[in-house]
Chain A
């Protein structure tokens, strides 16, 4: 798992998608594009990967989907985060901060001891 392939820690992709959706209802491409743009290209995954994850989120009830017409009058599937999805996002963010903070402290102390 190298940084240059843009792959992510396990579980973080779900969190990123939920976060992207919490900013506003979006279709699949929009989600991928939003994550890529907001991460400044650091989290540029293969775009297609959002679809299996979206399917999983749908099944868990964290997002809902509906077909709508786009501004170009095409049919597109829009995803929206649900209330339980928002709660999930909060807990994941909380978990993320704790983990990253912990990892970070470990890294710092290791530097001091060395």
Chain B
């Protein structure tokens, strides 16, 4: 990994980093990747993960919830006429 890789990851993850922070992360990543790389050498043969997960369905009906529209709007960093206000995209 090099500093360009860190910049690319930060771009993908949408996190602003200073040069100093990037260098620190690059240094930390070296140690962490070296540690987790151990799994490369583990012989496991053919494994088909038996996912024990299954779909949970529920009826699409209106149920009472604790929260109100107002309580959610109150959390918005910026709002206008009860709508969430964000910077323009285009």
Partners in one complex: no
Binding site for B on A (CB under 8 A): none
Binding site for A on B (CB under 8 A): none
